[in-house]
Amino acid sequence: MNIAIIDYKSGNISSVINSFKAVCISKNIKIKIEVTSDLKKISNSDKVILPGQGSFKNCTESLQKIKGLKDTLNEFAIINKKPLLGICVGMQMFADFGFEEIETKGLGWIPGSVKKIDNKNNQYKLPHIGWNELLFASESKLFKNVKEKSHVYFVHSYKFMPNDERFISSKINYSEEIVASVEKDNLFGTQFHPEKSDTVGLKIIENFIEL
């Protein structure tokens, strides 16, 4: 099996790489993991990881700068329906639009938008940084053998708001109800960082690898 971690200059992704390799070593899973922006390698992969750090606008613009990458990801995930995991802003880009800095068009894979968290007139700090407990909204393949109310790690000021709640797999409470993860067919997304979420995060990564 080949897994491609998309490199589109969206920030430091070393922890993503290391966590996937750690799971493969600990579980003796034979997988080739490659960080790449090569369109052919991405197309030929069995699974794709779409990370994202920074703003929705910067991430989408960085992705668009690599000629053909958006179309390749669309073919991989939407046409060929291969498993794809979006992490943090990588998940937010599934939306139609993001409203960080200016209105920016997303990938349009899961209808919805990305808007700023309501911090209740500065009663809650933004960005939301730290651990929060998952509240399951629907059954998810990512959460196999993961207990509800497990704690995972977040760093974000914006939230993904899918139009259809059927695609929401978990939520958290932080000033308001916030989507923590989504799942639609072969598309998986986490607002939290599984690669920074200790043993719970590693289990989620293992579940994605073993899909």
Of the residues 100, 183, 195, 206, which is catalytic?
195
156 is catalytic: no
Pairing state between β 112-116 and 97-98: parallel
Judge contact between 172 and 211, C-beta under 8 A.
no
Of the residues 59, 88, 128, 156, which is catalytic?
88
195 is catalytic: yes
Give the tokens for residue 156: 């974000």
Active site residues: 88, 193, 195
